[in-house]
Chains A and B, each alone.
Chain A
Amino acid sequence: MTAQGAPVRRQGPPVGEGTLKDLSHPGRRASSFALLEVPDAPVPEELRRARLPSLPEVSEIDLIRHFTRLSQMNYGVDTGFYPLGSCTMKHNPKAAEEVAALPGFRRLHPLQPDSAVQGALELMWRLERALCEITGMARATLQPPAGACGEMTGLLIMRAFHADRGRARPKVIIPDSAHGTNPASVRLAGFEAVPVPSDPRGLVDVSALAGLVDEDVAGLMLTNPNTLGLFEMEIEEIARIVHAAGGLGYYDGANLNAILGRCRPGDMGFDIVHINTHKTFATPHGGGGPGAGPVGVVDALVPYLPTPTVERADDGSLFLERDRPRSIGRLHGFHGNFGVIVRAYAYVLLHGADGLREVSELAALNANYLAELVKEDFPLAYPDGRPMHEFVATARRLKEETGVRAMDVAKRLIDLGFHPPTVYFPLVVEEAVMVEPTETETRETLDAFAMALRQAAAEARTQPDLLHEAPVTTPVRRLDEARAARHMRLHW
């Protein structure tokens, strides 16, 4: 395979165009307004702004070319394969974009009376029920705008549940391989994070867990399959240990794409579940967001769900219920990321029960197939484990033999035309290379990516500079992150 070059290149004039500010020319503007046909009503002098902010002064065509050029220096799922482990970068259906843009959804004010938003409430009601069926929960809230806020929601529910039982429990247990949001959320919810180690198989060390769990433990947070891509086979025993001490089980839905229609967090013994719609339900990631992080709970925790909930009246109409005395309250200014929720519901409608089950089957097939193709150069970090929808390999041996690190391989992949996988996560794996192909990729793409990875490994032995210096075909090459943090140029 020849180095075909990076999938995004430098665009536009090579010099003379930097930021939007550089295009600014006094007196130019793109905006226009209706003539003011009512009397002017200036605000009092002492409350007026002294000097107008120095925003760029540009024309419409300046804006269009500038942002078009920038978009061309960006890589998305629509550009190509995006195998970021733990991120589930699958295809984002175009029809979901179209329906989210219908005026009947996009042009709704969040504080319209219930009678004027029955369709929106019906959609929320139906998606809540679908998510509950998929996860085995009793009720759910769609309010959290992202997974991390879902975690806060779940932990605050945990806190309220224990407080009602008259015992403040200060600790929450998380695996040492957990995503960083877990420990951060635990502390912000007022708990102490207690790590439980992984055993040599890459699974929760169940005897260590048993030793950690006592009446001070509010609950356990876990993904399953876990952050190493492996199914926690002793999940029933884990749930039993936590429940026996009066704790609750929290399921982090980061890896839900692995198990749709195969098993459900509720059946595994979890009490609280968050779902990342921007992973499993294909809502676009937006260059970092928006996402949505609905949270489902078992019956006993329903009174604590955030307010308002969507309820159905006897006459069949829907309303927002605000009188919920045991609720943890409000986690978002309005109803969460409704526009994202519309897209997630579109995805559920399109797939149905069989389609969702097939999603997980083919996600697992793609991950296992790709792992097999690259295992010689990038062996699984836990070779006895069986990956599900993603796999964690290691470049440890490659680094020992050649001095080439996982980061260098990642950067070389860019010159070979691919977005790299996640590297250096989970933190418990040395030189981690975490690959999640998702179900929407063809076998030909997986073959080509495997070939690129193997080529990079071969080059590490023969021409390591190709990797150390990569990428060379991108709009910019490796950037000086230390300098960015030291000099802190955070605006123009």
Chain B
Amino acid sequence: MRFAPHTDDDVRQMLSRIGRGSLDELFDQIPADVRLNRPLDLPAGVSEMQMVAEMRLLAARNRDVDEIVCFAGAGAYDHYVPSLVWQLAGRSEFYTAYTPYQPELSQGVLQVLFEYQSMICELTGLDVSNASLYDGATALVEAVNMARPAGEGRVLVSSGVDPRYVETLRAFGRGGGYEPEVFTSGEVPPIDDGVVAVVAQFPDRFGVLEPVRDLFGAARQGGARAIQVFDPLSLGVLASPAELGAEIAVAEGQCLGNHLSFGGPYLGILAARMEDVRKMPGRIAGETVDVDGRAGYVLTLQAREQHIRREKANSNICTNQSLMAIAAAIYLGWLGPAGLEELGRQCAARAAYAAERLCEVPGVELLVGGRPFFKEFALRLPRPAAEVRDALLDHGILAGVPLEDADGHALLVAVTERRSREEIDGYAIALAEVLS
């Protein structure tokens, strides 16, 4: 299969126009020693229908969450994706476009990004949002970089933050010259002059609503940036990052109309206060006027970015996740304030019901008992969680995500608005069977 439209005649005439005898001559400048003098060792190309058939075979070797009932979360959630989201975001004028550097031809993407930013500000209560980052984990890295504009200062991270986020921070920190220092969730560590960032997750990595107001207050008092990892779909029910005292808020935006897709492409959300706008990473869409005075949109504050500031830039991001932000904007429009509240209410109710049912199984209890949670909770199982999870797959249930906590006996269970009472009851029955 090829997509180049050239006929043999085209090739001949075009070569003749440029005075070359063959296509090989176009590569004359490659030194003989580095030329590849054999065909690439790849299978021959195939037709479209053969490719689709081959990919279907690969897809069929996966057990997708249409076939098994998904109680896995840990940063990626099986929320419902309404039809209209990808019918609209999937319009090719959006998805085959480049970054909107020519604003006169890109008002569509620019305005959607402006609307996305507006809705993220509404959700978080903060002043300004950028137009997307790669995912939640890398958004946290960028937030920490905002707090370290001079490349200096200590970074304190609560033990309630997702371990994958901490791992990501640790990897990037080796370049940035910091090592994330983990403190016990629920405590307020000493925040001295050297500390520039304090990171907490609410709801935390066990789904627990560990209070963060005092921690963020102490961080601000100590001159450090208070950074919250939040759940966008909790914000119709739970206090917003601004209400909790966060100064920079980051999140995984997959839950906003984006598919699970085995971990990506997802959406890194980052919002902050106006005073930090010039430290923000990534694209930002802004409203302005054209020469006739008509309102329009551009990428603005580009003087922050790598293509202008080069080695002085605070971030290297170029390609981002615009299409996922477009999907998020459409999804948030679909939800509306009433939908956001209803969604939060349903997640909380279904999760509470699931925790109750699952904890009725002998030997099963909450890992962190007696504490409020939102849509996710951790169980302590009488057997290693990975074994139990594998056994439940045979019952058509993806039981959750095994954690390293409690010697591997902890299982993190997520319950979205999609999980019916019947599915939850079925899970409890299967769990009892597997554990008996």
Contact = CB atoms under 8 A, between A and B. Distances in A.
Interface in A122-153: 122-123, 130, 133-134, 145-149, 151-152
A290 B14 contact: no
Interface string B29-60: 11101111001111111111001101111111
Interface residues of B, number: 207
Contacts of B125: 53
A134 B39 CA distance: 10
Given A20-B333, A107-B65, A330 B319 contact: no
A41 B348 contact: yes
Interface in B82-122: 82, 84, 88-100, 102-109, 111-112, 114-115, 117-119, 121-122
A472 to B, nearest CB: 9
A263 B315 CA distance: 32
B175 A190 contact: yes
A227 B159 CA distance: 45
A103 B401 CA distance: 21
A236 B34 contact: yes
B294 A64 contact: no
Contacts of A189: 175
A159 interface: yes
A169 interface: no
A319 interface: no
B287 interface: yes
Contacts of B13: 443
B44 A354 contact: yes
B262 A332 contact: no
Contact of B15 (A53, A151, A349, A365): A365
A7 interface: yes
Given A74-B107, A354-B39, A180 B307 contact: yes
B174 A87 contact: no
B335 interface: yes
Contacts of B128: 490-491
A462 interface: no
A289 B326 CA distance: 11
Interface in A273-330: 276, 278, 282, 284-291, 306, 328-330
Interface string B339-361: 11111011011111100000000
A110 interface: yes
A53 B3 CA distance: 47
Given A31-B336, A334-B262, A339-B261, A78 B348 contact: no
A457 B129 CA distance: 41
B105 A414 contact: yes
A77 B417 CA distance: 37
Interface string A10-39: 000000001111000000111101101111
6 contacts: A29-B338, A31-B336, A74-B108, A75-B106, A334-B135, A490-B286
Q: Which 4 A-B pairs have the closest CB atoms?
A: A104-B59, A334-B263, A74-B108, A352-B45
Given A110-B264, A287-B326, 13 more contacts: A19-B115, A91-B3, A105-B55, A113-B386, A122-B58, A180-B308, A181-B316, A188-B176, A233-B31, A262-B27, A290-B324, A342-B55, A488-B274
